[in-house]
Amino acid sequence: MNRYSINEFIEKTKQEDKGEGLFELETPRMLEVNLQSQVWAKAGAMVSYRGQIKFEREGILDHGLGKLFKKALSGEGTSLMKAVGDGKLYLADQGKKISILQLTGDSIFVNGNDLLAFEPSISWDIKLMRRVAGMLSGGLFNIKLEGSGMVAITSHYEPLTLLVSESNPVYTDPNATVAWSGNLEPEFVTDVSLKTFLGRGSGESVQMKFSGNGFVVVQPYEEVYYSQSSQS
């Protein structure tokens, strides 16, 4: 086989069936969903598919009035789509690295912008971060996922998981925080002394403080969030 030939390129990059179940990492930045019924995914995350699959934008009452009201309050721009059918679905989000989590009756909080896909068996709820909304561009919100099933989350580059203990709390930059265990409730603290170093437009450095026992996932990147009203 000639070096750099089309055949060599195809051989190196072609799709492979790994037999890993519903969610498979086709590449570190491409999720393969072996769809047999339905799955929830971030709207706009579809890259390709084969088979008989239909896509539906989440309806006004798909998740109840309570969640609709929270979404309106949060002003966030992320919405979901439902993929229904039988086939292979490929999802990605701006080349971000994908991690697959298998929940078995436990729960996790995920930054709303970092949720890629999850099974319908997972229950979820939007949690607003009102105290920090005015301090960051577009505000910030997260989604609590719990139950049993698979969840796919994304991060810019490789994620780092920090263990939290009663004697050793963890402080994070909200823009670099991806997820945390469902038993933790972050507290928002400010440090005016860091203003000069971090250059926050609000004049304050906002940090998330995690106390208790659990974990928090961060990424080596500060993500900027935009509200729906700021999107063109």
Query: Can you give the pLDDT at residue 72?
Result: 46
How far is the first Cα of the chain from the last one, in angstroms, to the nearest whole number?
48
- Say which residue, 16 or 160, is predicted with more confidence: 160
**Does residue 179 contact residue 114 with C-beta atoms inside 8 Å?**
yes
d(CA 108, CA 104): 11
Task: Read off the pLDDT band of 231 (50, 70, 90).
Answer: very low
Query: Can you give the pLDDT at residue 142?
Result: 86
Task: List Cα–Cα distances, 113 to 14, 20, 22, 153, 212, in angstroms.
Answer: 29, 26, 22, 9, 25
Fold (topology level) of 19-222: Double-stranded beta-helix (3.60.160)
d(CA 214, CA 207): 18
Phi and psi angles of residue 6, each rounded to the nearest 5 degrees, phi first? -60, -40
pLDDT at 203 over 70: no
Query: Can you give the pLDDT at residue 95?
Result: 96
d(CA 25, CA 154): 12
Half-sphere exposure of 189 (CA within 13 A, CB side): 14
Mean pLDDT on 33-47: 94
DSSP string, 51-80: EEEEEEEPPTTSS-HHHHHHHHHHTB---E
Q: Give the mean pLDDT of the chain.
A: 83
Mean pLDDT on 60-77: 51
pTM: 0.84
Mean pLDDT on 17-45: 93
pLDDT tens-digit profile of 132-152? Answer: 555 554 446 788 999 999 999
- Say which residue, 228 or 27, is predicted with more confidence: 27
